[in-house]
Amino acid sequence: MPISEEKFKAALADKRIPVLILDSKWHQLFKKAGITPEIEKLEKELTELLKKQGRINTEIKSIKKVKSELMNNIVSSMDESDVKTEKKVSDSKRLINESNDKIDALEDELLELPRQIDSVNKELMLKTMALCYETMSVNTDEIEKIADWIHDVRIQLKKNIIKKQEKEFQNADLYTYMHDIFGPEVMEIFDLRYEPTLKKPEQKEETGNTEKTEKKEE
């Protein structure tokens, strides 16, 4: 019986969900369970958001590094007062201001990304849960069918084992009866598959009787 996504949402309401595509177990599971177009789309979207987050963080670090170098240039030029130095300081200040604007814009963008990542990740979790539940339901139906089949086969196997034993006992009784009535010479003309195995105990018994007779004679 299918479960609505609302129930899945309720189950996840207060849960802290790790980013699924960063979990190796998630990838391993879906190699076995398969993947739907919806999950594939969300996976790609989440991947792009994470790449964007990493790219922005790297860019901010790079700009801050340049900004630090510019500030060092200004500090090192404070004791100089020629026109060339003043222009250099002015350019550095302008670049620092531009760097600050870029950093502010990137940080504003970076603030929004965790919310977007969380939103897509939760949607991916819902689709993941739905697919897992559906797969497990189908598997459970198959397991029950196979279990019923195994049960029936076991019963049939027990019946056949008993039937086989009954046939073997009947053959043994019939052979013994025919052997006693007709003797071994007549029985040798019958091509019976079980004859050698049935004659072996008799041969041992006959041998034992001979040994007993020889002992008595002694």
Give pLDDT, residue 215. Answer: 46
Give pLDDT, residue 33. Answer: 67
Task: Tell me, yes or no, whether 75 and 179 share the same domain.
Answer: no
Task: Tell me, yes or no, whether 112 and 9 share the same domain.
Answer: yes
Task: Tell me, yes or no, whether 167 and 122 share the same domain.
Answer: no
Helices (H), the chain: 5-12, 24-33, 37-76, 83-187, 195-217
Whether 165 is covered by a domain: the verdict is yes
Domain with 136, as residue range(s), is: 5-149
Mark which of 149, 178, 198 sits at the end of a domain.
Answer: 149
Task: Tell me, yes or no, whether 21 and 114 share the same domain.
Answer: yes
Give pLDDT, residue 204. Answer: 42
pLDDT of 52 strictly over 80: yes
Q: What is the pLDDT of residues 104-153, one digit of tens each?
A: 999 999 999 999 999 999 899 888 888 888 888 999 999 999 999 999 99
pTM for the whole thing? Answer: 0.64
Task: Tell me, yes or no, whether 169 and 127 share the same domain.
Answer: no
Whether 11 is covered by a domain: the verdict is yes
pLDDT band at 201 (very low <50, low <70, confident <90, very high): very low
Give pLDDT, residue 44. Answer: 94
State mean pLDDT over 191-218: 46
Whether 179 is covered by a domain: the verdict is yes
Whether 31 is covered by a domain: the verdict is yes
Whether 197 is covered by a domain: the verdict is yes
- Read off the tokens for 168: 């073997």
Q: What is the pLDDT of residues 19-33, one digit of tens each?
A: 999 998 888 887 676
Mark which of 149, 183, 201 sits at the end of a domain.
Answer: 149
Task: Tell me, yes or no, whether 109 and 208 share the same domain.
Answer: no
Task: Tell me, yes or no, whether 106 and 58 share the same domain.
Answer: yes
Task: Tell me, yes or no, whether 52 and 143 share the same domain.
Answer: yes
Whether 154 is covered by a domain: the verdict is no
Task: Tell me, yes or no, whether 19 and 83 share the same domain.
Answer: yes
Domain count, the chain: 2
E strand or H helix at 26, and its extent?
helix 24-33
Task: Tell me, yes or no, whether 107 and 187 share the same domain.
Answer: no
Query: Between 83-187 and 5-12, two packed helices, what is the crossing angle to 10 degrees?
Result: 120
Task: Tell me, yes or no, whether 101 and 176 share the same domain.
Answer: no
Q: What is the pLDDT of residues 53-73, one digit of tens each?
A: 999 999 999 999 988 888 888
> How much of the chain exceeds pLDDT 90, in percent?
38
Among 40, 31, 54, residue whose Cα is nearest residue 120? 40
Whether 155 is covered by a domain: the verdict is no
Give pLDDT, residue 190. Answer: 67
State mean pLDDT over 201-217: 44
pLDDT band at 93 (very low <50, low <70, confident <90, very high): confident
Whether 184 is covered by a domain: the verdict is yes
Could you tell me if 61 and 103 are in contact, meaning their C-beta atoms sit under 8 angstroms apart? no
Catalogue the long-range contacts made by 153-159 (C-beta closer than 8 Å, 24 or more residues apart). none
Mark which of 149, 173, 204 sits at the end of a domain.
Answer: 149
Task: Tell me, yes or no, whether 213 and 105 share the same domain.
Answer: no
pLDDT of 175 strictly over 50: yes
What CATH number does residue 84 fall under?
1.20.120
Could you tell me if 124 and 48 are in contact, meaning their C-beta atoms sit under 8 angstroms apart? no
- Calpha distance 141→198 (Å, rounded): 49
Give pLDDT, residue 208. Answer: 45
> How much of the chain exceeds pLDDT 70, in percent?
77
